[in-house]
Each structure stands twice: as structure tokens, then as C-alpha cells.
Amino acid sequence: MSSSSSARVSWAELAWPGLSVVLVLAIWEMLVRWRGIQPIFLPAPSSIVYYLWQMLLDGTMEYHLGVTLLRILVGFFVASVCGVALGLLMGMSRVVARIADVWIAAFYPLPKISLIPLLIIWLGTGEAYRIVISAITAFFPVVMSTYAGIRQADRGLIKAAQDLGASIGQVQFKVVMPAAMPSILSGLQLGMGVTIIMIVAAEMIGGSSQSGMGYLLVNSGQVMETEKVFAALVVLAIAGAAIIKLQQWGDRKIAPWISDER
Amino acid sequence: MDVVVDGVSQAWGSAQTRVVALDRISHRFRSGTFSCILGPSGCGKSTLVQIVGGIETPTEGAIRVEGGAAASAPGAHSVMVWQSLNLFPWRNVIDNVAFGLEMQGMPKAERYERAVALIASVGLKGFERHLPGQLSGGMRQRVALARALVLERPILLMDEPFGALDAQTKIVMQEELLRIFEATKKTIIFVTHAIEEAILLGDEVVVMTARPGRIKEVVTVDLPRPRSIEMINSPAFGKLFDRAFHLIREEVNTAMAQQAQTLSEHA
């Protein structure tokens, strides 16, 4: 009884958002056709799909997307390892926390994108520059969430562990770190979001490698191939959503207790 | 093993804002005795039991464990069951129960064997792989109890463990605890603010005053064991209840007046 009614609710929940997308696309298509809007300003959805299909067939889309995804992974990996490591060290040592706090306070408010000119001077416009700019940006939310998670670990759990005979080291590794896990994972989600943004932005500025979704967007825009711009945006949106869903799925695998608690 | 509380005081804050939670408490909790500490909220009864467990350090006085092995660090012979349970939400039932053994470095097979036996004895067989978040309040309470019992320490400290449970579950858990006490003859120190609970469970009821917490009187509960919930209707129970209620009533009034004053000072 209750299961069938909840199934009906989820059907409606699935159907309405999908229907709204179809409706918007249909209105868009009709508007472009009836008013004769130039494809250079606003191409019809059907022609965007056609261009997208062509780019998938000749492999340009796969190439640019693959390059971008690889850069995102590398930047995110560097930021995660450094951010989690420093956050844990800050949580364990007051001295490290004091020192790092000064530097974080100084650099965190700075828009990281403003470092691009300096990084191009130092590193050129190659892979190093793109990885570094995205890793720096993602590093801050990761390190701050990790440190916050360690500091906010439930005092009650720590006391209980000590009462049950845990040593200081055991409390750190068996209680404080797992207790910080939800905060660390949400920091990594924030980090992934900004990594995607910064990689694409870095590909748009100083794209000497002539590759990646950012380069594809800028290049298609410059030659007024608006259909390709839209096609690239569609692919970026889908890829971004897929990365975030995948990360959420991974988080549930790593820390299944989080959803139970809330 | 007797637990001797010797002139224990606990105070917080600076000279101006000094709050005395406990004022020169002395009491001997005898080996194999079920003692209930009864007092109005804010009287420092949780603080007292945490000091007994070595979790907090008193500003004055000391805790001694007499008899048995040579003296050791406070808390080495006792284990606490917390009001907020403090189960590790990322550990399933078996790993929560086996936590203390794991910290001692006991091999997995051995600690699991002991944890499984205890989980079964508190009626949670089949739930070994569940996370605390997937269990009901009463089941979580049983996990917390098993996690403490598995260490086989002679002194069991319980800080209002059944406070958050619904009335029916509370009765079931009280009977469960009585059964465990009567089977193991542990020394139990049980903090509560419920008069019936204190009388139903305890061999003695240590009635505390409002802040600063002192021992007002120790009521000996001479009801026979094994106890059961039906005893609540007996005349002997009623007499003990009246006596404890009489003792606690004016302390509750004092505590409420204190809380009202604190609130108006903060307003």
C-alpha cells in the first residue's frame, strides 16, 4: 500500500521535470523556426544536436572532452592530496594550524583566477599552468573543510573512546578522522566544482595546446560557429553533472553512515 | 572492588564567575552494589559519575578503588554508558561493541567472537552488520550497553542511559539491566532523575541536593531481588517512593529557583 503510493509519487517526480525540459526545447525550436532567427545568434535545438552528432562522429568532441577530463582529474588529485594532508596536520598540531592559518587567511580571499597572468609568466601556457591554477583553487576548500571537520569532531565520541581504552593515537585515527569524514567529503565536492571551472577557464585563456573544452568553446565562438558553442556547452553540462553524481555515489560508498544520520 | 569518593569537589570558571558543581562529596560505593544517584537537573550528578570514571578530574578530593588488584589510574576498572550513547556512527554494531577490545590489540577473530556473544545476550542477534543509524533508540541503547559490558570491567557507570527512551522501551531496558546486574554482580553506579527508576533498580539511592551538589541522604532500598517492574505497586515500594520524593522535592524547587535566577541574569 505505502510502497505503491510512494512509487506513484516518484513517477510524477520523474515525469514533470523531464516534461518541462521537452516543453522548453519545443518552444525554443518553434521560436527559431517561425521568427527566422539567424543560427549565428541562436541555433535551433535540432541543429545543435546535428552539430553535436557530427562532432561526436569525427571524434573532435571526444578528444577535447577527454583532454579536459584528464586535466580535471590531475588538478583535483593534486588539490585533494595536498589539501587533506595539510588539513589533517593542522588538526593534529596546533603549531602547524597557527602557521597555516596565516597563509590561508591571506590567500583564501584572493580570486584565484587573478593569478593567471603570473602563472603564465612563470609556467608558460602549457599543462603545468592549467594544473597549478586549478589545484590552487581547489586546495582551499579542501584544506579548510578537512581542518574544520577535525576540529569539530564530536567531543562525546572522543571521551567515549578514551573511556574504552583508546590511546591518543588511536583516538586520532579511529575516531577523529572518521568523524571528520563528512566534512572532508563535502570539501572535496566543493573542490571538484571549482576544479572544473578553473580547468575550463584556463583552457580558454592562453590555450597554447589547442585542446580541451575551453579551447573548443573559445575557438568556435571566434569563428561564429554558434552551434558548436552550444554543443560544447551541452557536453560540458552533462559531463559536469556526471562527475558530481559519480562523486556523490562514491561518497555514499565511502561513508554510508552519513545519509543514515541525517 | 569498592569505589571510595573522598572529599570530591568540582568548580568551574574564574574567581568572579565561579560555579561550584560538587561540594565535598564523600561516599563508598560498595562492591557488587547497585547505587542510584538521584538529584534535580544541574546538581552535578553527571559530573560526579564522570569523575568516578576518571573522565573528569576533580578540583579537590580523590577517587580510590579499594580491594582487588593494585591501585591503577582512575577509570581503569570502570566503563561508562553515556546519556547520549556516543556510538560511533561509521562502525556497525559488531565493530562498535568490539571497539574497546580492538584498542587493546585483540585479534579480530577473538574480539568478534566475544562481541557476537554479547550482542546475542542483549537480544541483537542478526543485527551485527547494521549501522547505529539503522537501529531504533532501544536497540542503540543495547549496543551501548554491550560495548561497555564486553570489556568485563567490574564497575559499570551509567549516566541517565534510559532518559531518551519511550516509556515501554525504558521498562524493557530496566528489566534487562536488572537481569544483567543479578547475573554478573557488577558494581553499578547509575545516574537518574526518575525516582521510580532509582528505587526499582538500586540497592541504595544517593539523593543529592541542588547546586552546589552535596549528598543529602542515602536511602537504602531493601526490596528483595530479583526485582521486577510489578514491584512498583507494592506498599514497600510506595513507602520508599514517598521518602525519596519528600527528600527530592525541596531540592527540585531550589534548582528551579536557581535556573530562573540564571535566566533573569542573562536576560
What is chain B written as a DSSP string?
A: -EEEEEEEEEEES-SSS-EEEEEEEEEEE-TT-EEEEE--TTSSHHHHHHHHTTSS--SEEEEEEESSSPP-STTTTEEEE-TT----TTS-HHHHHTHHHHHTT--HHHHHHHHHHHHHHTT-TT-TT--GGGS-HHHHHHHHHHHHHTT--SEEEEESTTTTS-HHHHHHHHHHHHHHHHHH--EEEEEES-HHHHHHH-SEEEEEPSSSB-EEEEEE----SS--GGGGGSHHHHHHHHHHHHHHHHHHHHHHHHHHHHHHHH-
Contacts of B147 in chain A (CB under 8 A): 164
Strand-pairing partners, residue A205, are: none
Q: What whole-number distance in Å separates Cα of residue A91 and Cα of residue A173? A: 12
Residue B142 φ then ψ, to 5°: -65, -40
Digit-coded pLDDT (tens) for B11-54: 988 777 888 889 999 999 999 999 999 998 878 899 999 999 99
**How many domains are contained in chain B?**
1
Contacts of B104 in chain A (CB under 8 A): 165
- Inform me whether the C-beta atom of residue A210 falls under 8 Å from chain B C-beta atoms: no
Closest by Cα among B178, B147, B174, B180 to B162: B174
Q: Which domain covers residue B6, as residue numbers?
A: 1-73+187-250
Q: Chain A 1-30, CB below 8 Å of chain B: which residues?
A: none
Beta carbons of A163 and B75 less than 8 Å apart: yes
Closest by Cα among B137, B152, B153, B247 to B198: B247
Using CB atoms, pick whichever of B82, B89, B104 lies closest to residue A257. B89
Contacts of B79 in chain A (CB under 8 A): 163-164
Q: Is the pLDDT of residue A260 over 60?
A: no
B141 lies in a domain? no
- 3-class DSSP state for residue A164? coil
Residue A168 carries which side chain, given as an amino acid letter? I
Q: What whole-number distance in Å separates Cα of residue B32 and Cα of residue B28? A: 12
- Inform me whether the C-beta atom of residue A156 falls under 8 Å from chain B C-beta atoms: yes
Q: How much is the pTM?
A: 0.83
B106 lies in a domain? no
Beta carbons of B86 and A160 less than 8 Å apart: yes
**Domain of B62: which CATH number?**
3.40.50.300
* Mean pLDDT (whole number) for B73-96: 91
Average predicted confidence (pLDDT) for chain B: 91
Q: What whole-number distance in Å separates Cα of residue B208 and Cα of residue B215? A: 5
Predicted local distance difference test score (pLDDT) of residue A3: 46
Predicted local distance difference test score (pLDDT) of residue A262: 41
Contacts of A257 in chain B (CB under 8 A): 89-90, 131-133
Strand-pairing partners, residue B37, are: B191, B206
Contacts of A174 in chain B (CB under 8 A): 99, 102-103
Beta carbons of A160 and B89 less than 8 Å apart: no
Beta carbons of B82 and A157 less than 8 Å apart: no
B117 lies in a domain? no
Average predicted confidence (pLDDT) for chain A: 90
Contacts of A255 in chain B (CB under 8 A): 90
Top residue of B78, B84, B90, B152 to mutate, by most chain A CBs within 10 Å, is B90
Predicted local distance difference test score (pLDDT) of residue A122: 93
- State which residue of chain B sits closest to A176, comparing Cα positions: B88
Beta carbons of B151 and A164 less than 8 Å apart: yes
**Pairing, β B2-12 against β B155-159:** unpaired
Predicted local distance difference test score (pLDDT) of residue A13: 80
Digit-coded pLDDT (tens) for B221-253: 999 989 999 999 999 999 999 999 999 988 888
* Cβ-contact A78, A133 below 8 angstroms: no
Contacts of A170 in chain B (CB under 8 A): 103
Q: What whole-number distance in Å separates Cα of residue B149 and Cα of residue A223? A: 75
Digit-coded pLDDT (tens) for B112-148: 999 999 999 999 999 999 999 999 999 999 999 999 9
Give percent of chain A with pLDDT exceeding 70.
Answer: 94
Q: What CATH class has A44-261?
A: mainly alpha
B30 lies in a domain? yes
